[in-house]
Structure 1
Amino acid sequence: MSKSTSWALITGASSGLGIELARSLAARGSNLVLTARTAAPMERLAGELGRDHGIEAVVEPLDLSAPGSAGVLAERLDARGIVPDILVNNAGFGLSGRFIDHDPVRLAAMLQLNIVSLTELAQIFGRRMAAQGRGRILLTASLAAFQPDPLLAAYGASKAYVLSLGEALNVELGPKVTVTVLSPGLMDTGFNAVADFETPKAFESSKLEPAEVARIGLDALFRGRSSVVAGRINRVAAFGTRLMSRHAAARMTFGLSGGAKA
């Protein structure tokens, strides 16, 4: 039985960064609600974290790319009597290649997950946190949020939305409810396989381990920071986009991704 009364809800908790965010929060003593489409890896993770950290971890399998799924998740937590103090809005996926070639159904699912469900969860639980007078929300964006991204156009735009939303909400809901945006760069996760994306060689040196990114994001969350870019090289890259026009940044990104040769 957990001694903690604090609960964190983590979306995208079946793989990659979501798993490491769960591990880091468990090590900090928080009970966990893990949600993603696939139950089996979350069940294994819940067992591991309960055993290693003495916390309670429950699993709610759910596809957050389905319309209305955020409300369903909130209802499930209400039925369990769980009131999260922390929301980690981490679920998301990408699509690479020419925008006009994307499958429309897959594109709509990505936008539903990356933007709509994320927004609905932030509103549902942000409203509850504001009523309680306390709470923390972590939104996972991306280094792709800082400039237009040819060949990742809709994905990058979805993450730019997350960055803007989170930084605005940090001011709007603060100081009692803090909202932090974590912007990772490249990581060793399943993103490339899902997005059909091949990492440009120019970016390989910036790659970080998901555990390190999770630590950076949660440190920023508990310090009440509005935004953090994970990794020194990535921070330099994000700042560098301010020194050129958005068109120039898009052209540069296009060239580095090999698009100019396509």
Structure 2
Amino acid sequence: MKTLKNHTLIYDKECPMCNLYSRGFTKSGMLDENGREAFTEISLRNKDLIDVHRAKNEIALVDHNSNEVIYGLDSLLLIIGNSFPQLEKIARLQPLYWFFKKLYSFVSYNRKQIIPSAENGAEDACVPDFNLKYRLLYIAFVAVFSAWILSMFSGKLGVNLDRNFLREFAVCLGQIFWQTVFLRIYLKDKIWDYLGNMMTVSLMGTLLLIPTLWTDFDSVFYMIYFGIVVFIMFLEHLRRCKILKINYIPTISWILFRTIALGIIILTTF
């Protein structure tokens, strides 16, 4: 790999994905061995050069030759393009560049909801701004994706459930509406953080169901497996509520809705 020398990538230490790719850049030789620096451990020299607020939303790459800083997707493309020029050229073509730019923002603004951190409340924490557009997009994406997978999985449960995307989508939307209505006053300014985390719990459950779509076992197996997945989701929901420093009320409300929804589905299919 061709090393991009005298550059420092300022990454979010609490973000596993940021940790992974920034370490990958240094281990592969695309950056110097000391070519990355955690945002929470930033040197005074680099802190004076970067826009601290912007660096929370878009990863910053400091060029020590010119003392210039580039941010976000452009910083990643510069590193990659130094070793793979053709890849950078392709990624900068429209509409690919537009798509990757939006995808980067989509992940960046929701990264603390995808993988939460207990350190988010610290003054020097690398926490992105709240962006309503990208939060709503994340919620919508998970709702549609989960409904799609659940509609395919439900037919394997052997309880007279046919493949019905609209039914599962209605359940997903109902969960969001239910939690928003019942918890908005209680959670106050944490409601959007909670909803993002709740959708990640749903996404985790959905991903765990995907491998079963290519199997053909008895319906009892799928019911047991589904129960295990729900239990994992329950534990993850509790864990995330603890990180957000909210008590058991959101989890109780979450379980209550799912119980009611399951009861309605069973009553309407028999």
Q: Same fold (TM over 0.5)?
A: no
More strand by share: 1
More helix by share: 2
Larger radius of gyration: 2
Q: TM-score normalized by structure 2? A: 0.29
Q: Which has the higher contact order (CA 8 A, sep 6+)?
A: 1
Q: TM-score normalized by structure 1? A: 0.30
